[in-house]
Structure formats: C-alpha cells, structure tokens
Amino acid sequence: MKRTRLIALAIIIGSFITNELAAQELKLDSKSDKGFYIRAGAGYALGIGKTSGAPNELMPSYNQHSIDHTVHTTKFGSVTENTTDKSDKRTNAAFSLAEGLNGRLDVGYMFSKYFGVELGFSYFNGNNNEVVNSTDYKSIKTTITSKSTNSITNTKSKETKYSMKRTAFAITPAIKLVLPISNHISVYSRLGVYLPFKNDMEYQINSHEYTYYNSTTSNIKNGSNNNVYKKEKFESYFNAGYDASLGLNYNFNNHFGIFGEINMIAISYEVKKSTITNWTTTTDGKETDKMTGLKTNEIVTEYNKSYDINSTSSSDSPKQDVSFSLPSSSIGINIGIVFKF
C-alpha cells in the first residue's frame, strides 16, 4: 500500500511539472511570434582578401630586413669598395583593413515568427596593420692607409615602421528570416546592405636611424639618433557593401534572449582624400616640426577616380592624384543579447 501511494504521488507531481512546462512553452510561443526587439552585440572580424600595397607605392608592399657587411679603404680622399657581403630578405606583407573588433546595435520588428526587418548601427575598430623595413650595416671599416694604425668602425642601423588602422561607422538595414527549432531555440539569417557614413584610416610612418662611430686608436666614440614621425588621415569615397549573417537565437522568456552568429561584410575602401596631421623629425633629442611652412598641396592630397597627370594646380590647393582601393571585407563572430517588447 505504501509503495502504491508513492507511485501515485510521483505521477501527480510529474503531471503537475509537465503541465507547468507546457504552459510555459505555450505562453512563450504565443507571445513571441511578432513585435519589436533590440539586439546589442560585439565580436571580432578577420579580413577576407588581402593586398600588398597600392599602385602609387604609397602603401608598403613587403617586410624587408637587410644586413650589409661592407669594407671600404680610404686613400687620399677617394673610397674604393673592396668587398661587399649583403643579405636582403623580403617577405610579402599582405594586409587587410577589415581585421579588428566590432560592435553593433540593431532595432527590429518581427511580422511573424518567420519574417522580420532590422535597422542596425555598427562600429568597427580595426587592428594596426604594421609593415617593417629595416637595414643593419655591420663592420663598415674605414682605413686611412697613410696611418694604417687608425681604423674607424661605423655601426649603422635604420628601421621604418608603417602602420594602418581603420575605423568605421555604418548603417545596416536588413531583412531577417527565422526558422524555429523549438519554443526557445531558433536559427536565423540576415541579409542587408552596409552603408558606411564615416570610414577613415590613420596611416603612420615611424623611422629610426642610429649611427655609431668608434675610433680604435684615439678612443673617440660618437654617434647620432635620428627619428621621423608622420601621421596622415585618409578618407574614403562612399561605397555601399553587403552585410549578411547566419546565427542561433535562444529565448529565456518572452522578453530576453541571447544570440551568436557568423557575420560577413563585403566592401572596398577607395581612397578619396589624405591630410597630414603630424610630421616631426628628431635629431639627437632636438625635435623639429616639419609642418611649419608647408603649403596646402604639401599637406592635403585629393585622389580622383580619373586623373590627368599633365594637369597642374597651385600650391594653395590640394595636390591631385589617382585614387586606389584597399580590401575591407571581413568574416567574423558576434555574440550578444536580445530584448523583446
């Protein structure tokens, strides 16, 4: 009798839990078919399709490291090169302007549990794309033959770093298709356009040159440090692109859920204008502002889709050049939260 009572109690409790879950499922399903929602998320993107520079050689095309062992002999003011041992290694420095962090905020409306529309606002903060060219001169010896005991060894090195960093704000209207798997889980796809209303790139050149002189006889040591720093801001032509996602949504209740998606953006960065914002040189600790006295055509360049190389312009107007495009397409992963109304 006691065992029968326990079985009956278990059946009653089980039935109660099942009914409650069914009610919750029904409640969730009946109120989540349509309406407004807001999504907020962030993620990381990788560049699709890379380049190795621009046609006008403004952008570097390879990483380079050179080692030069050269011996010179000086006699009566003339220099004769006796031997040269030089190693020059170059590596393709392909880069993309689309790799980095992104965040987005989307406002949407579901007409049914299968179809809706979205208006998104996205922000992209790109990584620094760095290209390095360096040269090391080792054991460059100058021997004065009239005083063979006086030998001077010069050590010289030079390194130039180029870096490119893109930031962008865009509007992304899209349509959304949803495939419910259960009352809590659904698979969705989004297809829309990517409309950047602000799409800038910061380009920096940082060069360091070091020279060291050592006289082996008079014990005189001397050297110099030279640095060049240049910052340039690039603006892009307006180019519309495509924005598509495939994702998974999980609803905890009628008002709150989470999502994870694979997102792809297809767009190109076509250079429209560049402006030098900072240009300094430093020699042995003394800094000089190279911007002082520069004319407009030495600071600002306008890049045209079509350009006549024989055309001329005054020094008070921007320099003219032909435009070029850089890859900005990406594929990435986004995760975030969803609030339904």
Over residues 131-159, the pLDDT tens digits come to: 888 887 665 555 544 444 445 556 678 88
Q: Say if domain 36-340 classifies as CATH 2.40.30.30.
A: no
pTM: 0.76
Residue 13: Cβ-neighbour burial (10 angstroms; 0-12, 13-18, 19+): exposed
Q: Residue 56 above 70 pLDDT?
A: no
Domain boundaries, the chain: 36-340
Q: How confident is the model at residue 327 (pLDDT cuts 50, 70, 90)?
A: confident
**Among 224, 174, 165, residue whose Cα is nearest residue 195:** 174
The one-letter amino acid code at 280 reads T
Least confident of 51-60, 94-103, 227-236, 319-328: 51-60
Share of the chain above pLDDT 90, in %: 47
278 or 148, greater pLDDT: 278
Q: State the pLDDT at residue 18.
A: 47
